[in-house]
């Protein structure tokens, strides 16, 4: 999954989850108020059912947003780890690679390359 896709889905699912959760809470509280004030049972029961449905839908979208948040975090961590490994590998190559010096020989003006002197701890 690409980073932009995960960020977009995180924003969309997070927003939808918040909106549905708010609608569900408001509808459930309104149903509770109607139960106390009105005598028609079918109305508040229907409103409570709709409110609970929206509440659960909001929780579902909130969980999906958390999933995409984890995806975004993993993508960023993986790319950071990959960049650090690449940098570390480049530094290791530079340490291992011997330095080259140009060598000019006096005869015929021929040019060559010789290895620079390298200190080693070998006995």
pLDDT at 116 over 60: no
For residue 103, give every residue at least 6 positions away whose Cβ sits within 8 Å of its Cβ, in sequence order, or none: 111, 112, 113, 114
Q: How far is it, in rounded angstroms, from Cα 63 to Cα 50?
A: 20
In this structure, the number of other CB atoms found within 10 A of the CB of residue 62 comes to 17
Average pLDDT, the chain: 83
**Whether this model's pTM surpasses 0.85:** no
Helix axes 3-37, 41-96, angle to 10 degrees: 160
């Amino acid at each position: 999954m690409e980073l932009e896709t995960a960020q977009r889905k995180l924003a969309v699912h997070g927003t939808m989850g918040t909106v549905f959760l708010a609608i569900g809470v408001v509808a459930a509280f309104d149903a509770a108020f109607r139960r106390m004030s009105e005598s028609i049972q079918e109305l508040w029961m229907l409103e409570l059912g709709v409110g609970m449905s929206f509440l659960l839908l909001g929780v579902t979208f909130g969980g999906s947003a958390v999933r995409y948040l984890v995806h975004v975090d993993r993508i960023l961590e993986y790319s950071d780890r990959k960049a650090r490994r690449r940098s570390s590998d480049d530094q290791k190559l530079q340490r291992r690679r011997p330095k080259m010096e140009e060598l000019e020989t006096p005869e015929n003006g021929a040019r060559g390359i010789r290895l620079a002197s390298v200190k080693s701890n070998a006995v």
